[in-house]
Structure 1
Amino acid sequence: MVSTTPLGRPESPGAPRPHLVFTDPAGRRRTAPARFGPPSRRDPALPQRIRNGMLDDRGQQCVQVFLSAADAANPAARALLDTEAGTALHLDRTLENTPYAYLFPTVIGYELDTAEPFLLYAAPRGTAAGRTHVISATDQRVFARDLTLALCLLDGQGLVPRGISPATVLWDGTSVQLWGLEGVARTGRPRTPWGRAPFAPPEQHRGEGLVDPRDAVWSVAQVLYQLVTGRPGPADRAPADLAQHRVLAGTLPRAFAPAAAGRPTPGALLELLAPEEARRLRPTAGDGARPHREAFDRALDAKRRTPAPAEDTTDGAPDDRPPGEVLCPYCLENIQLDLDKLYVTDDQMQYRPLDLSRIGNPVRREDVMRGAVQQCTADPDFPEHHIPVPYLTHGRPLTVAMIGQSSTGKSHLLTQMIAEITDGGLERYGVGWQSVNPEQHARFVRERVQPLRSGKVLDHTSGVGLDGFARFVESLLLTDARGRVRPVAFFDLGGEDLVRTDGALRFLLGIDALVFVVDPALALPLPQLDEVRRRWGTEVDRDGDAAFGTVLDRLPRTGPYLETPAAMVLGKSDLLRFQPPVDRWLGEGPPATIGPDQFLQESGDVYALLRQHAGQAWLRPFDAFRRCTLHIASATGGQESQGRYPAGTGPRRVLEPLVSLLAMHGIIEAPGSAASFGVGREAQ
């Protein structure tokens, strides 16, 4: 936030004018000398503040909605401003070149990833309906038409305005302008308490059920009733005197039904209020993604028509053989349990040999073994390293590799992914977890999870690895719904540094699941990412991520597709949180259950976004693997500022890529088979 000269106060001669830097709706950066008046609360119950202003480069009157630094430290307050900005920008983009843009505020610009985030609007048009005392019957019909038309336009985008009240509906004598966009929610999301009676419908006021477009119909009816009668209506039923008001009696009785199911839809209400306008209302233009979504459908159909190899054992069942050789997660050589090479740590955190012959109690022995490690000597030239015993005693570990250039944010994404697991994020799918080694896991939480969650920017993943190529990050024991336990090891692959060694090739051949992380600043030539590229010193790469190609070129295939389960993640998606389809998916909660078509709609949307703006080179992993889902995720929820995230980190959808991979391996059970998960139906 800049310091600014209040409106009406003369500036000192020769004094430099303070400037405001922000992004306009087209994604371009703008710097303008700015003056603002005193701030006030738009709504005493909400944290946003508002003040009138002037952008002197164009003589442009504006209104700034902003958060103070203290309020911005609260993630919930930032989320409200994000919701308002996202809705306003979505409407600006959707209604451009239509006759309906006048119904909503006009966005000038925004700056949200800063200590004092703000949103700029053009000056409001009209006066709040709550301060409008007299309105003719003709104007009442226009008012009702415009307000219902606004509902229909929002409904067409899957949005429901929950904040309609006499304070948020403006009237200029000829038309309506609807504000209060911070209260907009997506249809079908769980309701949360919002608004005040009587303008909030009963179920919304209580926060019960799912958001429904008919919630807003109640609010419109209450605003119209107060406008006509000069008093608020009952909070839970139709007004007793409704029949006495001709303008209301013929159209609104059902709008006051206490439950949404009894009310008309916005479209049905518009048919009653303004049938000619309802017939003229036409769908808004699409975003140009349709041909690219059709290309996804064709690519997926080709995968469905390709039979999986007969020898492919993709049910993901852990190896039931006696404990044998596994791949050391550090030196990537084969290792097996050797009871003569076990160690435990002493009070000084130093390793000392463990003599199991002195422990006769089997329960005590098992507990000691859980905290023990084995020294790996498979590669005498590799630095000294130790493997937790549970990693060696539960069959072949499932190896998950994160792939992408160092700028993609893999470290943050993987840290948040593991943190979500340990927070119980997989329990809804019947999967539990344990640490492989309590001390190592505690160190991971202390050194990675806690600093990131407190808002610190992490260094690139550290740890012992193979020539800078495969770095082991963490391992967990996952227990599926059938009680089967399997170690899962997470690796960070710096594919651009891959050297052609036997160890690297052996590791690649043994990978069980791959996560390809796409950096939007490298992939997408969208103008809203230009400032990010300038700040990071990067450019758009139309040839795709070099790390993807390095890894894919080393993996042998015996048919048209690679059979290893894979996922692609558009990381740092908070950079695009107002860009469709990111704006939709980033706010979606985790699926309660997993179905055979899970993630296909999201995959198609991400595929279309990358194909439309980045090009086919960035989709090479999807083209290479038979089963590959695509995801939108943000490890932090916002951009860093001076080495920190101003309001801490708020991860979004970081676990979904792993959920998909675990379903492909059968650890998470989904209808159909693990072999068909990711292509949408039973593999042929």
Structure 2
Amino acid sequence: MVSPTPLGRPVSPGAPRPHLVFTDPAGRRRTTPARFGRASRRDPALPQQIRNGLLDDQGQQCVQVFLSAADAAHPAARALLDTEAGTALHLGRTLENTPYAPLFPTVIGYELDTTEPFLLYAAPRGTAAGRTHVMSASDQRVFARDLALALCLLDARGLVPRGISPATVLWDGTSVQLWGLEGVARAGRLRTPWGRAPFASPEQRRGEGLVDSRDAVWSAAQVLYQLVTGHPGPADRAPADLDRHRVLAGTLPRAFAPAAAGRPTPGSLLELLAPEEARRLRSAAPGDGTRPHQEAFARALEAKRRAPAPAEDTAGGASDGRAPGEVLCPYCLEGIQFDPGKLYVTDDQMLYRSLDLSRIGNPVRRDDIMRGAVQQCTADPDFPEHHIPVPYLTHGRPLTVAMIGQSSTGKSHLLTQMIAEITDGGLERYGVGWQSVNPEQHSRFVREQVQPLRSGKVLDHTSGLGRDGFARFVESLLLTDARGRVRPVAFFDLGGEDLVRTDGALRFLLGIDALVFVVDPALALPLPQLDEVRERWGTEVDRDGDAAFGTVLDRLPRTGPYLETPAAMVLGKSDLLRFQPPVDRWLGEEPPAAVGPDQFLEESGDVYALLRQHAGAAWLRPFDAFRRCTLHIASATGGRESQGRYPAGTGPRRVLEPLVSLLAMHGIIEAPGSAASFGVGREAQ
């Protein structure tokens, strides 16, 4: 984006107008000459700035809410602007062509993944309530009705506006328009301190408990009280003079209850203020266009539940013919067993020297040295010399996880962030700890992959996979479950489109314990907001699905109607669709505190419906092929890259959930019922 005028600097008469590039609410890109006035802080406590503008191609007046480059360097500031944009776009989409749309600001466009992100609104309608001096009793009733109606519309979508104040409620003489959408939070989330007295509720200011729609009722009551009386109310109780004001006396006493539980809901408040409007709102609930696709998901689940299970349930994948104690070498993909006569450690010059365990009598020192030791693998004499960390060979059969998808899907970013989240303690909430299999190897992975990505660098596409060109070993960790059992977990990046029909490839696939199919939204979903991404990457929508998915599925033998290996599907790069339902909801969901058999059922249904509605059946082949398969929404970066970097660094969102599902299916994460019963497609035992 070419910046408009510098802040506060007018354009000289006759000078060419700078152009503004942004995305409109329908997802189309728009370029227009633009000019802006001076900027000011909308709220001294918030980073967003605001200024009036004019879009010259249509002579359209607008308001730009934006972040300076300095403020945009802070993820929290970007998150506020993202919240505001997401809320405004969601309201605009769901209320379009209804009489309720004018109750909220109208979005013209946005550009958020840039150095100076911004949001464009149509010119506001009315004057802030704090500047309204005289209002008749009938206007006060309309004002109160509209404000309660706005709260009900937000509440119906699970949203709570925490920033209501006289400055954010506009009045044009006939109706209200509610601004301050940067303060919206989802009901049921943990409260964080927000707002100022008296307009923010006491528990909201303290940041105690869970966000509740009745928080906003307190705020609305305070705004209405100031409008009627001309002065603010008390910060923690009902005003003493409510009975003196007819508009307030019958409806607001309970709205000032010190705790949310004592206040009416937005719906109850609207019933008191305007019962006919409340009935009209209930009857105007929009239909759900995803319902047929959700019903198809339910039918698919029922078919899996009714299908006969194999004679012996193989939660860890099919037999691959390896001998007892033999594991898959992550480099040459041949079988290898622990051999204490082939161990090495590195010296000060980082050269391998032979390790003789017979000279080490102290068992503690021996175990410590063994953790940093490696074993030379000679299973394939034609493969270049390589060494395997000893802990990978001495804790039982490793659990192998393969990421599958074409090279453009962002698998490397997703897997890097997944591993980084584990090492940041992301699995501790489920009672699972971790250790590096090899400290030196892990340090190199952090240095070469995690740190550059987290600092905002786009990682290079992976190449030079394995011996047969289809599998690249990425990293391995030792996971310790709640019972103290230790198991190595190895992560592979699988270039499924490059699989060749060789015995080596088949043997590798038979030994895989869990598969993660990564869906590229630009390839799968013909949505207009992805057109610019497709144009930039030189790609097109592929109605036939990911070729890598098909290649892998065609190679895996099955003995019944379904494959038994645990699987997950991930709609990756979901930040590209962060304002598209249901992505907007799930990207903001917090990780679950515990895992149950139905933990991912609702998310799986939403992702299934999205893919079935827009992408088609070919993209759902993995879900249809595996008996147990969950579907997820995740973003490894949190935003789009620009010129090889992510302007505000990377903010991974929900990258661990697919792995949590797979680990629960394998029993590493404890879930109610047996491990074999966990996952979409099987009933709890």
CA contact 1:597–1:681 (8 Å) conserved in 2:
no
Structure 2 gaps of 5+ residues are none
C-alpha distance in structure 2 between counterparts of 1:46 and 1:658, whole Å: 36
1:82 is matched with which residue? Answer: 82
C-alpha distance in structure 1 between counterparts of 2:88 and 2:418, whole Å: 31
| Cα deviation 1:26-62 (Å, max 9, x = unaligned) | 0111111101001110001000000000001001000
* Structure 1 residues 128 and 427: CA distance shift in structure 2, 3 A: same
Which stretches of structure 1, 4 residues or longer, exceed 4 Å deviation after superposition? 5-14, 315-323
CA contact 1:463–1:472 (8 Å) conserved in 2:
no
| 1:581, distance to aligned residue in structure 2 (A) | 0.2
C-alpha distance in structure 2 between counterparts of 1:48 and 1:293, whole Å: 39
* Structure 1 residues 482 and 463: CA distance shift in structure 2, 3 A: farther
C-alpha distance in structure 1 between counterparts of 2:569 and 2:317, whole Å: 20
Paired residue total: 684
Match of 1:270, SS state, is helix
CA contact 1:320–1:395 (8 Å) conserved in 2:
no
Most deviating of 261-270 and 361-370: 361-370
CA contact 1:314–1:666 (8 Å) conserved in 2:
no
| 1:679, distance to aligned residue in structure 2 (A) | 2.9
1:39 is matched with which residue? Answer: 39
| 1:424, distance to aligned residue in structure 2 (A) | 0.7
| 1:288, distance to aligned residue in structure 2 (A) | 1.1
* Structure 1 residues 4 and 443: CA distance shift in structure 2, 3 A: closer
1:644 is matched with which residue? Answer: 645
| 1:499, distance to aligned residue in structure 2 (A) | 1.2
* Structure 1 residues 532 and 646: CA distance shift in structure 2, 3 A: same
CA contact 2:628–2:681 (8 Å) conserved in 1:
no
| 1:228, distance to aligned residue in structure 2 (A) | 0.5
| 1:460, distance to aligned residue in structure 2 (A) | 2.1
C-alpha distance in structure 1 between counterparts of 2:677 and 2:651, whole Å: 33
CA contact 2:11–2:35 (8 Å) conserved in 1:
no
| Cα deviation 1:64-88 (Å, max 9, x = unaligned) | 0000011100000000000000000
1:218-229 aligned at under 5 Å gives the runs 218-229=218-229
TM-score (norm 1): 0.97
2:394 is matched with which residue? Answer: 393
CA contact 1:109–1:119 (8 Å) conserved in 2:
yes
| 1:2, distance to aligned residue in structure 2 (A) | 3.5
CA contact 1:202–1:236 (8 Å) conserved in 2:
yes
* Structure 1 residues 536 and 319: CA distance shift in structure 2, 3 A: closer
Q: Percent identity?
A: 92
CA contact 1:23–1:110 (8 Å) conserved in 2:
yes
Residue 188 of structure 1 pairs with residue 188 of structure 2: yes
| 1:191, distance to aligned residue in structure 2 (A) | 0.8
Match of 1:675, SS state, is helix
C-alpha distance in structure 2 between counterparts of 1:503 and 1:83, whole Å: 49
| 1:339, distance to aligned residue in structure 2 (A) | 1.1
Match of 2:22, SS state, is strand
CA contact 1:162–1:184 (8 Å) conserved in 2:
yes
C-alpha distance in structure 2 between counterparts of 1:391 and 1:678, whole Å: 27
C-alpha distance in structure 1 between counterparts of 2:499 and 2:620, whole Å: 21
CA contact 2:629–2:681 (8 Å) conserved in 1:
no
C-alpha distance in structure 1 between counterparts of 2:443 and 2:620, whole Å: 37
* Structure 1 residues 259 and 96: CA distance shift in structure 2, 3 A: same
Match of 1:130, SS state, is helix
| 1:321, distance to aligned residue in structure 2 (A) | 13
C-alpha distance in structure 2 between counterparts of 1:283 and 1:417, whole Å: 44
CA contact 1:7–1:35 (8 Å) conserved in 2:
no
C-alpha distance in structure 2 between counterparts of 1:408 and 1:319, whole Å: 29
CA contact 2:320–2:511 (8 Å) conserved in 1:
no
CA contact 1:343–1:375 (8 Å) conserved in 2:
yes
1:14 is matched with which residue? Answer: 14
C-alpha distance in structure 2 between counterparts of 1:435 and 1:10, whole Å: 58
| 1:4, distance to aligned residue in structure 2 (A) | 3.3
* Structure 1 residues 382 and 681: CA distance shift in structure 2, 3 A: closer
Structure 1 gaps of 5+ residues are none
* Structure 1 residues 14 and 200: CA distance shift in structure 2, 3 A: closer
CA contact 1:370–1:437 (8 Å) conserved in 2:
yes
Match of 2:677, SS state, is coil
* Structure 1 residues 535 and 319: CA distance shift in structure 2, 3 A: closer
CA contact 1:316–1:667 (8 Å) conserved in 2:
no
| Cα deviation 1:143-192 (Å, max 9, x = unaligned) | 00000000001111111111110000000111000000000111111111
RMSD of the alignment, in Å?
A: 2.0
| Cα deviation 1:484-531 (Å, max 9, x = unaligned) | 111100000011111111111100011000000000000000000000
Most deviating of 58-67 and 668-677: 668-677
* Structure 1 residues 318 and 251: CA distance shift in structure 2, 3 A: farther
C-alpha distance in structure 2 between counterparts of 1:4 and 1:449, whole Å: 35
TM-score (norm 2): 0.97
* Structure 1 residues 491 and 455: CA distance shift in structure 2, 3 A: same
CA contact 2:317–2:510 (8 Å) conserved in 1:
no
C-alpha distance in structure 2 between counterparts of 1:477 and 1:4, whole Å: 52
| Cα deviation 1:243-288 (Å, max 9, x = unaligned) | 1111101000100011111111101100000111111114666451
2:581 is matched with which residue? Answer: 580
C-alpha distance in structure 2 between counterparts of 1:162 and 1:96, whole Å: 24
CA contact 2:600–2:680 (8 Å) conserved in 1:
no
CA contact 1:315–1:674 (8 Å) conserved in 2:
no
| 1:426, distance to aligned residue in structure 2 (A) | 0.6
CA contact 1:596–1:680 (8 Å) conserved in 2:
no
| 1:362, distance to aligned residue in structure 2 (A) | 1.5
CA contact 1:6–1:35 (8 Å) conserved in 2:
no
CA contact 1:323–1:395 (8 Å) conserved in 2:
no
| 1:312, distance to aligned residue in structure 2 (A) | 1.1
C-alpha distance in structure 1 between counterparts of 2:16 and 2:559, whole Å: 69
CA contact 1:187–1:211 (8 Å) conserved in 2:
yes
Most deviating of 622-631 and 338-347: 338-347
C-alpha distance in structure 1 between counterparts of 2:132 and 2:464, whole Å: 66
2:633 is matched with which residue? Answer: 632
CA contact 1:606–1:630 (8 Å) conserved in 2:
yes
C-alpha distance in structure 2 between counterparts of 1:592 and 1:283, whole Å: 36
C-alpha distance in structure 1 between counterparts of 2:204 and 2:188, whole Å: 13
1:198 is matched with which residue? Answer: 198
CA contact 2:8–2:39 (8 Å) conserved in 1:
no
* Structure 1 residues 186 and 8: CA distance shift in structure 2, 3 A: closer
| Cα deviation 1:530-577 (Å, max 9, x = unaligned) | 001111111000000000000000000011100000000000000000
* Structure 1 residues 548 and 643: CA distance shift in structure 2, 3 A: same
C-alpha distance in structure 1 between counterparts of 2:386 and 2:279, whole Å: 73
C-alpha distance in structure 2 between counterparts of 1:670 and 1:321, whole Å: 30
CA contact 1:141–1:273 (8 Å) conserved in 2:
yes
| 1:683, distance to aligned residue in structure 2 (A) | 5.5
2:618 is matched with which residue? Answer: 617
C-alpha distance in structure 2 between counterparts of 1:322 and 1:544, whole Å: 37
CA contact 1:307–1:683 (8 Å) conserved in 2:
no
C-alpha distance in structure 2 between counterparts of 1:668 and 1:216, whole Å: 39
CA contact 2:339–2:375 (8 Å) conserved in 1:
yes
Most deviating of 323-332 and 213-222: 323-332
| 1:364, distance to aligned residue in structure 2 (A) | 1.1
Match of 2:562, SS state, is coil
| Cα deviation 1:410-435 (Å, max 9, x = unaligned) | 00000000001111111111111111
CA contact 1:600–1:680 (8 Å) conserved in 2:
no
| 1:357, distance to aligned residue in structure 2 (A) | 1.7
